[in-house]
Structure formats: C-alpha cells, structure tokens
Amino acid sequence: MSLFEQTWAWLTDPLQWSGYSSIPTRLGEHIFYTLLTVAIASAIALPIGAYVGHTGRGRVVVVAIAGALRAVPTLGLLVLFVLLSGIGLMPPIWALVILTVPPILAGTYSGIAAVDPVVVDAARAQGMREFQILFGVELPNAAPVIFGGIRAAVLQVIATATVVAYTSLGGLGRYIFDGLALSDYPQMLGGSVLVAALAVVADLVLGVLLRRLGPHSVSKRELPAPEVLKEGMP
Amino acid sequence: MEWAAANAGRILSLAGQHLVLAIVPLLLGLVISLPLAQLVRRHPAWRTALLTLSSVLYTVPSLALFIILPVVLGTRILDPVNVIVALTVYAVALLMRSALDSLDSVDGELSLAARALGHTAVSRYFQVDLPLSLPVLIAGLRAISVSNISLVSVAALVGMPNLGILFTEGLQRDFVTEIVVGLVAILVLALIMDLLLVVLGRVLSPWARFASGAAPRKPVTPARRAVRG
C-alpha cells in the first residue's frame, strides 16, 4: 500500500472520527486555541493601536517593539513559557498571544494613521469630539487594514498552534508529534494535510468575511454618493 | 553564560547550519521570483493565477510543509532540502508580490524616458526598473530574512540540526539556560542579517539618501509578512 493510500486510510478510518483524540476533537481544540489567542491579542493590540494611530504618540516605540517581536522564534518562546510556568492551557497560549499582538497592532496603527488627514480635519471642523472621530471616522475607514492584520494574525496562530502540541496541548499538531514519536508517517502526513487544509479554508473564509464587512458596503448603503460623482459615473 | 562559553563550539556550528538553511532560500527566492514577476507582469490572468497560488502556498504552516514535502520530492524526512524548498516557497510567494508591487511603483514616464534614451528592454530592466524597485525589494527581503531565521528553528522539531535544537533539548532536559541562549543567538542572527540587508540597500541605491523630503511616491501595499510558526 502506498503512502498516499495509507494516509487516506488513516484519514478515513472511523477510529479517527469519534472519541477523545478524533479529528473533530483535535480540530475543535485547534480552532479554540486560535480564537482564544486572537481574542486576547486583539483586546491588547486594538486599544493600543487605536491610541497610537489617533494621537501619533509612542509611534516609534510601538514600531520598534512590534518589529523586534517578529524576530522572536515561536518555538523558543513557547518552550521557555512552558518550562517557566508549567504545563497547562495558559502558558502556551500566552506565548501565542505575544506573537499575535504585532500583526494586529501594526494593522490597527497603520490603518488609522493612513486615514486621510483631510477627512479627520473635516470631522473635527464639524465639531466631532476626539472619541467620535476615532469611532465614527478613523476606525471605519481603517477597518480593511485592521481586518487584514487580524486575518494575518489568525493564519499565524493556526500555524503556530501546531507547534503548541510539542509541549503539552492538543490540537492538530498532536498527530504530527505522535506520528513522529511512533515513526507513523501516515499519521504525520494526515495531520499535516489537515493543518494545511484548515489554514487555507480559514484564509478563504476570512477573505470572504473581509469583503462582506468592508466599509465599502456600508458606505454604499448608508451614504449616497455626491451628485457630482454620480453624474460622472457610468 | 558559563554554559554558553563551555558549548561555544557547538553553538557556533549550529548557528552556521541555521544560517545556511535561512540564507539559501532567500537567494533562491530572489533568483526565482524576479524573472517570474517580469514574465507575468503584463499578463493579468497569469499574474492573478500566480499571486493566488503564492498566497495559498504561503498559508500552509511550515511544520506541515516540512512533513508534506518529503513525500512530494521523494526525499528523506531529515534531508535539509525539505527545509530549503519549503522556505524558498514562502520566499517566492512573498517576493512575487513585492516584486510586482515595486515594478508597478516605478514611474511610467521614467520608463518611457529610458526608452527614449535608447535603452533596450533588457538594459532598461537592469538599469532603470530594477534599481528603482530596490527599496521595496529590500523591504521584502528583510521580512523574509527575519521570518526564515525564526522558521528554521521549527525544523528542529523533526530533528534537523540548527539552533532550534537548543529549544527541544532544553525542554527535554528542563534547562532554561539553554533555551535562553538559543533565543538570544537567533535574535542576534536575525539582527545581523537585517543590518546587512539595510546596508546592502543603502549601498545599492545611493540616490535614496538624497531623496528624503522629495515628493511622496505612491505607497506600496505592504506584503503580508507574518512570522509563522
């Protein structure tokens, strides 16, 4: 039996589809880690990014920290957290959070900073308060870039959550490391294919969501285009 | 520190292997993506197809790719070729976008002027288009270099010798020092590579030093450059 057939047999074995370490369970764990990490990281990065983007204060520090964090190897950070704070759900999750903050922070900050200053000044001239400008003008305009950052973050966490299985947690990476320990190549390959499929599907889903949630649909629905523009449009 | 000093020889040799695994894909990525970008530049259908394929490939997590590739390539699982090919795939995927963006950002009138001056297509590419797109390319290379150096350590999970081995060993032996040394060594490598690329960019585009404060150019969309695990 070829490796492909063995892997296919592994993937379609009824044993893999029910019980404690079944594919649905591992997939659920993987998605749970991803959502938990992205939620915590967003809670940290969105307010900071919004503050820095709106005021322009602390820009250099944020860019420097985000850049430095990018260079930190995931595996090293993960292993360090597990050794220092023990086995459990949270140590690896915190390591993941540290790696997930930079892309969300960068997206939020650069998205807001890139909003046309003329638009922001116009809002201010209309008498909007700073908070109203942030929530009513800057965040909606920056939404595509912010969601882009979150999309990159989600993909990164899906990839990194695979490595988490090396320490103590579950998730799809479990198959890779269990397979490695047992020299069970079909299991490793099956796990890898599942992780790759999850990442590709997640990217597609987020891409579709991004297009749906984008501010263009909102502005088209709620704000009629100026008369001059309408005439010029085909 | 004592541990690092006592094991300096081993750490250095791991660092050497680490560097090779990180740099070779960078160069291969450059050599593959530049001609490819030039080829598909004027063909929207090919361009879209290639960019879509790159973004799908870029999405595949590295650990999964390290394990899937041996089957595709017919190599053994511990063959360094797997890591090099996997990282080259990421490098090409990211650089394709950078290269296309940067070539697009070259002012059309400049290209026309170069043509008027008698440049052939080839000499225009090497003497006008390519040098002008350098800043964006260097930015792409810096992103890849940082993520490559971090990704190579993941290959240690399947047993490939590089600085990542210090992490897996440290965990097995419950030895924090070894992990910290590994982290520092990898950060230093990433920093050195980054500085080298910045210097290279400065040297290759001397005019950029005078251009600060000049008219802002059309901003180039930053490529997605997540550090992956």
pLDDT digits (tens, 9 = 90+) for B94-143: 888 888 888 887 777 888 888 888 888 888 888 888 888 888 888 888 88
Question: Residues 144 to 183 of B: which have CB under 8 A from any A CB?
Answer: 146-147, 149-150, 153-154, 156-158, 164, 166-168, 170-171, 174, 176, 179-180, 182-183
Q: Write down the H helix ranges in chain B.
A: 2-6, 8-40, 44-59, 62-73, 80-105, 108-116, 121-124, 130-132, 134-152, 165-173, 176-204, 208-211
Of the pLDDT bands very low, low, confident and very high (cuts 50, 70, 90), residue A42 is: very high
Our CA-based measurement puts residue B3 at a distance from the nearest CA of chain A, in whole angstroms, of: 17
Residue of B nearest to A193 (CA): B64
What is the dihedral angle through the alpha carbons of A166, A169, A172, A175, rounded to the nearest 10 degrees?
60
Whether residue A191 is contained in a domain is answered as yes
What residue numbers bound the domain in which A99 lies? Answer: 22-226
**Calpha distance A123→B11 (Å, rounded):** 57
How many Cβ atoms from other residues are within 10 Å of residue A124's Cβ? 14
**Calpha distance B111→A157 (Å, rounded):** 42
> What pLDDT is attached to residue B109?
83
Whether residue A9 is contained in a domain is answered as no
CA-closest candidate to residue B68, choices B80, B86, B52: B86
Picking from A30-44, A178-192, B212-226, which range would have the lowest pLDDT averaged per residue?
A: B212-226
Helix A90-113 / helix A23-55 crossing angle, nearest 10 deg: 40
Which among B64, B167, B226 has CB closest to A76?
Answer: B167
Using an 8 Å CB-CB cutoff, list chain B residues near A79: 167-168, 170-171, 179
How many Cβ atoms from other residues are within 10 Å of residue A173's Cβ? 31
Q: What's the mean pLDDT in A21-32?
A: 87
Q: With contact defined as beta carbons under 8 Å apart, do A71 and A130 qualify?
A: no
Is the CB of B187 less than 8 angstroms away from the CB of A155?
A: no
Is the CB of B228 less than 8 angstroms away from the CB of A70?
A: no
> What pLDDT is attached to residue A226?
39
Q: With contact defined as beta carbons under 8 Å apart, do A173 and A26 qualify?
A: no
Using an 8 Å CB-CB cutoff, list chain A residues near B166: 76
Q: What's the mean pLDDT in A19-25?
A: 80
Residue with structure tokens 């882009």?
A148
Percent helix, strand and coil across chain B, each to the nearest 5: 80, 0, 20
> What pLDDT is attached to residue A44?
93
**Calpha distance A200→A158 (Å, rounded):** 10
Q: With contact defined as beta carbons under 8 Å apart, do A123 and A131 qualify?
A: no
Is the CB of B146 less than 8 angstroms away from the CB of A173?
A: no
**Calpha distance B98→A45 (Å, rounded):** 26
- Give the residue ranges of chain B where pLDDT is below 70: 208-229
Is the CB of A191 less than 8 angstroms away from the CB of B64?
A: yes
Q: What's the mean pLDDT in A85-108?
A: 85
Q: What's the mean pLDDT in A134-141?
A: 87
Is the CB of A195 less than 8 angstroms away from the CB of B191?
A: no
Cα B58 to chain centroid, rounded: 12
Using an 8 Å CB-CB cutoff, list chain A residues near B146: 70-71
Q: Domain limits of chain B?
A: 2-206
pTM over 0.90: no
Q: With contact defined as beta carbons under 8 Å apart, do B227 and B150 qualify?
A: yes
Q: With contact defined as beta carbons under 8 Å apart, do A116 and A151 qualify?
A: no
CATH number of the domain within which A71 lies:
1.10.3720.10
CA-closest candidate to residue A101, choices A57, A54, A143, A40: A40
Is the CB of A196 less than 8 angstroms away from the CB of B186?
A: no
CA-closest candidate to residue A107, choices A158, A56, A144, A159: A144
Using an 8 Å CB-CB cutoff, list chain A residues near B171: 79, 82-83, 166-167
pLDDT tens figures, B153-165? 888 888 888 888 8
B79 CB contacts (<8 Å, ≥6 apart)? B70
Q: Is the pLDDT score of A37 beyond 90?
A: yes
Of the pLDDT bands very low, low, confident and very high (cuts 50, 70, 90), residue A152 is: confident
Our CA-based measurement puts residue A117 at a distance from the nearest CA of chain B, in whole angstroms, of: 15
How many Cβ atoms from other residues are within 10 Å of residue A64's Cβ? 10
Residue with structure tokens 């997206």?
A107
Question: What is the number of domains present in chain A?
Answer: 1
Q: What's the mean pLDDT in A31-47?
A: 93
Q: With contact defined as beta carbons under 8 Å apart, do B95 and B136 qualify?
A: no
Is the CB of B67 less than 8 angstroms away from the CB of A188?
A: yes
Whether residue A40 is contained in a domain is answered as yes
How many Cβ atoms from other residues are within 10 Å of residue B216's Cβ? 6
B218 CB contacts (<8 Å, ≥6 apart)? B105
> What pLDDT is attached to residue A215?
54
Percent helix, strand and coil across chain A, each to the nearest 5: 80, 0, 20
Number of residues in chain B: 229
Counting one residue from chain A and one from chain B, the pairs whose CB atoms sit within 8 A come to 147
User: pLDDT over 70 for what percent of chain A?
Assistant: 90
Our CA-based measurement puts residue A18 at a distance from the nearest CA of chain B, in whole angstroms, of: 23
CA-closest candidate to residue A107, choices A39, A45, A34, A65: A45
Question: In degrees, to the nearest 5, what angle opens at C-alpha B63 toward C-alphas B58 and B65?
Answer: 55
Whether residue A16 is contained in a domain is answered as no
> What pLDDT is attached to residue B223?
43
How confident is the prediction for chain A on average, in pLDDT? 81
A170 CB contacts (<8 Å, ≥6 apart)? A21, A25, A26, A29, A30
Q: Write down the H helix ranges in A114-138.
A: 117-125, 130-133
> What pLDDT is attached to residue A38?
94
Asked whether the ipTM of the predicted complex exceeds the cut of 0.85, the reply is no
CA-closest candidate to residue A30, choices A207, A210, A199: A199
Whether residue A11 is contained in a domain is answered as no
Is the CB of A199 less than 8 angstroms away from the CB of B61?
A: yes
Top residue of A75, A100, A104 to mutate, by most chain B CBs within 10 Å, is: A75
pLDDT tens figures, A46-64? 999 888 888 888 888 887 8
Tell me, which fold does domain B2-206 have in CATH? MetI-like fold (1.10.3720)
Q: What's the mean pLDDT in A157-178?
A: 85
